[in-house]
């Protein structure tokens, strides 16, 4: 990549193929979504070749069921990674919110959902206070929150939550129900709602611009009047809220709250944001990319299931894809 | 860093140098004192404190110490390795697979081979970090997955084993439970002391600090920054292999289904408590050892106090946050004053 960037400019006028190659690389780095869509389509095609039945609404539905919770969790990761943060507690917040919602389910769906989401906001705000006001490293802060919640809910699971882990029917419908002859899951509708909210937040609001500014250059952001701690507390609260949404969807899909509900989604949620081109150092990234990242992971899951790949192969492939795609990104960024 | 301030060097006033000494070594001394206080306190909490309790703490803490040391070496050189937990599972699963039923001598040869293999493998991860310029946290997130998958391929079911002598080396008994802490103490002290001396006294070791505190400055003053980073990951990999061996020696069998990510989290928490800064270039293995032991030691203390393990986890989390808040407030005040 160094070679191209250092030797290319003088040759650009004379060497036709190289300049075309360069302009393609520039195009791709300007619109990384093109690469992602290509990868996604390629994965779908490969999956369809291996299992022709996959190219039906029912086949794609299974991928969607896997992609939705990752996509919602990755929305939180995207928002925080824009500020150069990360939320390692988001999966545990999801699990905890599911417990709260299940516990409150006898009181009706509305109360269960509201209290579940409220818990997510409170836990996220705690993260935000630690990171934004006390300047604790986000990795440590959210790790500790995750540990605290795990301890609390492991204890409570056998005491105050014992026997009250069944989700309200409405939440179960949201989690695993479908409409249009059972072809479109309700959870996809929830994800679309979340996506519109996050996309508008990042693109159309001053707050969204503050997130980018803070991650890109915190000093410049401060000097131009951004109050970093307020932006951060709100960002972590939103991440907690999104964690809770994912927790309710997962709880609804399983039908009950469970300590192992969402933990396995933590690393995929980070991976989806990274695959989508969001920089872990802040300031760079879009939720569109993250959505594509989540979809890629969803299709990949179906592909690996059809291949009959065991968990071992899945994990190795998963890791390779995360490293490979992000390597490709940095090459593209360097070439432009 | 403050150590380079020429006015401090030129006027060795006793007050100044005392302040400088506490600034440089205060955290290390403090964390050791905390460990001793905790051990003494623990010995008064339980009815009988003898060789058995002592060796249980040392043996159980061995893996934590090596894992934290691995993380510390990488972070001091300016990186971060989320893959350590996965590599621990992989090394212990590999060792369990091949050492099962072998005599002592063969198991030692295998251990050396696996240790070198782990160093090369993790060095390769470090190479990817330097060549690809992808953030280390992303690359090692990938390596965490890959290691965990490879471990499952290596040992699909809980099983395998090691030789009696191998287990004695890390636990002081052939069954993994005993009253003799000395083999474990030697196994910890020798590698850590060698590594600490290497990092603190030799040019190649000090270049880890140089690259960690300012990669560009280190490069401009003639340090091969890329090679130093790769070396830090390789040394980390070797330490992780030691942690994997200790885990196998205690359990007696390998288990590839252990969740590597939570082990990684322990190592991160331990280096934070040990005073290693995420920005790189600051920290010491000598302070990381007691920090890892304290974190491991927390559960026995709290259970001796009658706190159940779940509450213990809550208290541990709150304590880590509290320590971090205090540390970052001190840092913030110091920066405002200067």
Q: What is d(CA B30, CA B110) in angstroms, rounded to the nearest whole number?
A: 39
Question: What's the burial of B90, exposed, middle or buried (CB within 10 Å: 0-12/13-18/19+)?
Answer: buried
Q: What is d(CA A21, CA A72) in angstroms, rounded to the nearest whole number?
A: 36
Q: What is d(CA A316, CA B119) in angstroms, rounded to the nearest whole number?
A: 19
Nearest of A305, A313, A315, A321 to residue A54 by alpha carbon: A305
Sign of CA dihedral A302, A308, A313, A317: negative
A128: alpha, beta or left? (left if phi > 0; alpha if psi -120 to 50): alpha
Nearest of B189, B323, B276, B160 to residue A134 by alpha carbon: B323
Question: What's the burial of A207, exposed, middle or buried (CB within 10 Å: 0-12/13-18/19+)?
Answer: middle
Name the phi and psi angles at B290, rounded to 5.
-65, -30
List, as ranges, residues 247-286 from A with C-beta within 8 Å of B.
266-267, 270-271, 274, 279-281
How many structural domains does chain B have?
Answer: 1
Domain that holds residue B158: 57-288
CA dist A174 → A67, A199, B149, B252 (Å): 15, 22, 33, 46
Q: Which residues of chain A lie closer than 8 angstroms to B149, CB-CB?
A: 311-319
Q: Which residues of chain B lie closer than 8 angstroms to A123, CB-CB?
A: none
Q: What is d(CA B40, CA B57) in angstroms, rounded to the nearest whole number?
A: 13
CA dist B262 → A220, B67, B83, B85, B265 (Å): 37, 12, 11, 7, 5
Q: Which residues of chain B lie closer than 8 angstroms to A145, CB-CB?
A: 317, 321
Q: What is the SS3 assignment for A261?
A: coil
Inform me whether the pLDDT recorded for A56 exceeds 50.
yes
DSSP per residue, A120-189? HHHHHHHHHIIIIIS---HHHHHHHHHHHHHHHHHHHHTTTTTT--BPPHHHHHHHH-EETTTTEEHHHH
- Rounded to 10 deg, the angle between the A57-82 and A186-204 helix axes is 30
How many structural domains does chain A have?
Answer: 1
Close Cβ partners of B159 (under 8 Å, ≥ 6 residues apart): B96, B100, B253, B254
Res A22: pLDDT? 67
Q: Which range among A16-20, A153-157, A172-176, B294-298 shows the weakest confidence by mean pLDDT?
A: A16-20
- Is residue A249 in some structural domain? yes
- Is residue B134 in some structural domain? yes
Res A25: pLDDT? 67
Q: What is the SS3 assignment for A16?
A: helix
How far is A280 from chain B, CA to nearest CA, in Å? 7
Res A3: pLDDT? 40
Res A245: pLDDT? 96
Per the CB < 8 Å rule, is A267 touching B145?
A: yes
Res A28: pLDDT? 65
Q: What pLDDT digit, counting tens, does each position of A268-303 carry?
A: 898 899 888 888 888 888 999 999 999 998 998 888
- Is residue B219 in some structural domain? yes
pLDDT band at B259 (very low <50, low <70, confident <90, very high): confident
Close Cβ partners of B4 (under 8 Å, ≥ 6 residues apart): none
- Is residue A287 in some structural domain? yes
- Is residue A28 in some structural domain? no
Res A21: pLDDT? 65
CB B166 within 8 A of CB B249: yes
| Stretch A248-266: mean pLDDT | 88
Q: What is d(CA B165, CA B280) in angstroms, rounded to the nearest whole number?
A: 39
B127 vs A177 pLDDT, higher one: B127
- Is residue B45 in some structural domain? no
Inform me whether the pLDDT recorded for B1 exceeds 50.
no
How far is B7 from chain A, CA to nearest CA, in Å? 30
Domain CATH code at residue A290: 1.10.3470
| Stretch B37-46: mean pLDDT | 86
- Is residue A14 in some structural domain? no
Mean pLDDT, rounded, of chain B = 86
Per the CB < 8 Å rule, is A147 touching B320?
A: yes
Q: Which residues of chain B lie closer than 8 angstroms to A147, CB-CB?
A: 265, 313-314, 316-317, 320
- Is residue B67 in some structural domain? yes
Close Cβ partners of A328 (under 8 Å, ≥ 6 residues apart): A35
Q: Containing H/E element for A294?
A: helix A287-306
Q: What is the SS3 assignment for B254?
A: strand
List, as ranges, residues 41-100 from A with C-beta within 8 Å of B.
86, 88
Strand-pairing partners, residue B254, are B159
Res A18: pLDDT? 63
Inform me whether the pLDDT recorded for B33 exceeds 80.
yes
Res B329: pLDDT? 76
* CB-based contact, B330 to chain A, within 8 Å: no
- Is residue A8 in some structural domain? no
pLDDT band at A335 (very low <50, low <70, confident <90, very high): low
Inform me whether the pLDDT recorded for B223 exceeds 60.
yes
Per the CB < 8 Å rule, is B310 touching A152?
A: yes
Inform me whether the pLDDT recorded for B5 exceeds 50.
no
Res B6: pLDDT? 41
CB A69 within 8 A of CB A90: no
Nearest of A220, A296, A324 to residue A40 by alpha carbon: A296
- Is residue B110 in some structural domain? yes
CB A47 within 8 A of CB A54: yes
- Is residue B317 in some structural domain? no
DSSP A307: T
Pairing of β A184-185 and β A178-179:
antiparallel
Q: Which range among A79-93, B43-57, B77-91 shows the weakest confidence by mean pLDDT?
A: B43-57
| Stretch B8-32: mean pLDDT | 70
Res A35: pLDDT? 81
Strand-pairing partners, residue A166, are A256
- Is residue A216 in some structural domain? yes
Q: Which residues of chain A lie closer than 8 angstroms to B269, CB-CB?
A: 140, 143-144
Per the CB < 8 Å rule, is A140 touching B318?
A: no
Mean pLDDT, rounded, of chain A = 85
Inform me whether the pLDDT recorded for A16 exceeds 60.
no
Res A93: pLDDT? 96
Nearest chain A Cα to B308, which residue? A155
Q: What is d(CA A209, CA A131) in angstroms, rounded to the nearest whole number?
A: 20
Q: What is d(CA A132, CA A296) in angstroms, rounded to the nearest whole number?
A: 33
pLDDT band at A334 (very low <50, low <70, confident <90, very high): low
Q: Which residues of chain A lie closer than 8 angstroms to B145, CB-CB?
A: 267, 315-316, 318-319, 322
Inform me whether the pLDDT recorded for B88 exceeds 80.
yes
Q: Containing H/E element for B82?
A: none
Q: Containing H/E element for A335?
A: helix A311-335
Asked if the ipTM is above 0.85, the reply is no
* CB-based contact, A129 to chain B, within 8 Å: no
Inform me whether the pLDDT recorded for A239 exceeds 70.
yes
Res A96: pLDDT? 95
Res B13: pLDDT? 53
Domain that holds residue A170: 56-335
B337 vs B194 pLDDT, higher one: B194
pLDDT band at B67 (very low <50, low <70, confident <90, very high): very high
Close Cβ partners of B317 (under 8 Å, ≥ 6 residues apart): A144, A145, A146, A147, A148, A151
| Stretch A175-198: mean pLDDT | 88
* CB-based contact, A5 to chain B, within 8 Å: no
Q: What is the SS3 assignment for B179?
A: coil
* Helix boundaries (H) for chain B: 6-10, 14-45, 51-76, 84-99, 104-132, 136-154, 164-171, 182-201, 203-213, 215-220, 225-251, 260-273, 285-304, 309-337
End-to-end CA distance of chain B: 13
List % helix, strand, coil for chain A (3-state, nearest 5).
80, 0, 20
Q: What is d(CA B20, CA B26) in angstroms, rounded to the nearest whole number?
A: 9
Res B97: pLDDT? 93
Res A182: pLDDT? 72
A47 vs B16 pLDDT, higher one: A47
- Rounded to 10 deg, the angle between the A57-82 and A287-306 helix axes is 140
List, as ranges, residues 206-265 from B with C-beta within 8 Å of A.
261, 265
Q: Which range among A204-213, A278-287, B144-153 shows the weakest confidence by mean pLDDT?
A: A278-287
Q: What is d(CA A325, CA A277) in angstroms, rounded to the nearest whole number?
A: 9
* pTM of the predicted structure, to 2 decimals: 0.82
Res B48: pLDDT? 78
How far is A89 from chain B, CA to nearest CA, in Å? 12
How far is B39 from chain A, CA to nearest CA, in Å? 24
- Is residue A129 in some structural domain? yes
Residue count of chain A, please give it: 336
Residue count of chain B, please give it: 338
| Stretch B288-305: mean pLDDT | 86
Q: Which residues of chain A lie closer than 8 angstroms to B141, CB-CB?
A: 267, 270-271, 274, 319, 322
Q: Which of B258, B268, B321, B333 is best to mutate for the A interface (most A CBs within 10 A)?
A: B321
Among the partner-chain residues B135, B313, B315, the one whose CB lies closest to the CB of A150 is: B313
Res B264: pLDDT? 85
Q: What pLDDT digit, counting tens, does each position of A74-133 carry?
A: 999 999 999 999 998 999 999 999 999 999 988 888 999 999 999 999 999 999 999 998
- Is residue A36 in some structural domain? no
Q: What is d(CA B63, CA B66) in angstroms, rounded to the nearest whole number?
A: 5
User: What percent of chain B stands above pLDDT 90?
Assistant: 46
């Amino acid at each position: 990549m160094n070679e191209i960037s250092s030797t290319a400019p003088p040759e650009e006028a004379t060497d036709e193929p190289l300049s075309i190659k360069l302009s393609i690389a520039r195009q791709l780095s300007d619109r990384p979504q093109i690469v992602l869509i290509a990868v996604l389509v390629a994965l779908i095609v490969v999956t369809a070749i291996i299992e022709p039945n996959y190219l039906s609404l029912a086949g794609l539905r299974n991928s969607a069921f896997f992609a939705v919770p990752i996509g919602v969790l990755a929305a939180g990761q995207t928002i925080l990674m824009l500020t150069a943060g990360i939320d390692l507690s988001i999966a545990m917040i999801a699990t905890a919110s599911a417990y709260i919602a299940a516990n409150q389910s006898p009181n009706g769906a509305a109360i269960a959902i509201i209290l579940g989401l409220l818990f997510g906001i409170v836990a996220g705000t705690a993260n935000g206070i630690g990171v934004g006001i006390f300047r604790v490293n986000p990795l440590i802060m959210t790790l500790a929150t995750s540990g605290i919640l795990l301890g609390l809910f492991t204890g409570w699971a056998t005491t105050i939550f014992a026997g009250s882990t069944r989700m309200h029917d409405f939440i179960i419908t949201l989690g695993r129900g479908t409409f249009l002859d059972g072809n479109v899951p309700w959870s996809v509708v929830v994800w679309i709602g979340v996506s519109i909210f996050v996309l508008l937040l990042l693109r159309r609001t001053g707050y969204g611009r503050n997130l980018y500014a803070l991650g890109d250059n915190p000093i410049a952001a401060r000097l131009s009047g951004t109050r970093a701690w307020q932006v951060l507390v709100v960002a972590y609260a939103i991440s907690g809220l999104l964690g809770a949404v994912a927790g309710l969807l997962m709880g609804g899909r399983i039908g009950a709250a469970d300590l192992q509900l969402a933990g396995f989604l933590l690393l995929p949620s980070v991976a989806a944001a990274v695959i989508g081109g969001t920089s872990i150092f802040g300031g760079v990234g879009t939720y569109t990319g993250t959505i594509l990242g989540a979809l890629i992971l969803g299709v990949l899951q179906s592909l690996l299931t059809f291949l009959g790949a065991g968990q071992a192969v899945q994990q190795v492939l998963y890791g390779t894809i995360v490293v490979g795609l992000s390597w490709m990104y940095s090459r593209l960024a360097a070439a432009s | 860093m403050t150590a380079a301030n020429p006015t401090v060097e030129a006027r060795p006033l006793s007050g100044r140098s005392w302040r400088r000494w506490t600034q440089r070594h205060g955290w290390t001394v403090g964390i050791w004192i905390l460990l001793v206080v905790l051990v003494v306190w623990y010995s008064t909490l339980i009815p009988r404190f003898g060789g058995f309790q002592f060796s249980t703490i040392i043996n159980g803490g061995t893996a934590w110490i090596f894992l934290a040391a691995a993380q510390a070496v990488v972070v001091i050189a300016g990186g971060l390795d989320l893959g350590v937990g996965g590599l621990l599972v992989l090394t212990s699963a590999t060792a369990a697979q091949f050492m099962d039923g072998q005599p002592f001598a063969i198991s030692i040869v295998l251990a050396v081979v696996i240790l070198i293999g782990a160093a090369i493998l993790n060095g390769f991860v470090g190479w990817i970090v330097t060549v690809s310029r992808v953030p280390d946290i992303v690359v090692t997130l990938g390596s965490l997955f890959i290691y965990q998958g490879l471990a499952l391929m290596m040992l699909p079911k809980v099983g395998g084993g090691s030789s009696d002598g191998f287990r004695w080396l890390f636990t002081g008994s052939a069954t993994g439970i005993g009253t003799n802490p000395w083999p474990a103490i030697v196994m910890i002290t020798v590698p850590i002391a060698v590594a600490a001396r290497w990092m603190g006294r030799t040019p190649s070791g000090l270049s880890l600090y140089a690259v960690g505190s300012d990669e560009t400055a280190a490069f401009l003053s003639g340090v091969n920054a890329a090679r130093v980073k790769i070396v830090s990951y390789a040394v980390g990999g070797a330490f992780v292999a030691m942690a994997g061996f200790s885990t196998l020696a205690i359990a007696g069998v390998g288990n590839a289904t252990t969740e590597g990510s939570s082990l990684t989290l322990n190592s991160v928490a331990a280096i934070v408590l040990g005073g290693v800064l995420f920005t790189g270039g600051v920290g010491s293995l000598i302070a990381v050892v007691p920090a890892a032991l304290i974190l491991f030691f927390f559960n026995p203390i709290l259970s001796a106090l009658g706190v159940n393990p779940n509450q213990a986890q809550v208290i541990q989390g709150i304590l880590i946050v509290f320590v971090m808040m205090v540390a970052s407030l001190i840092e913030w005040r110091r920066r405002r004053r200067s």
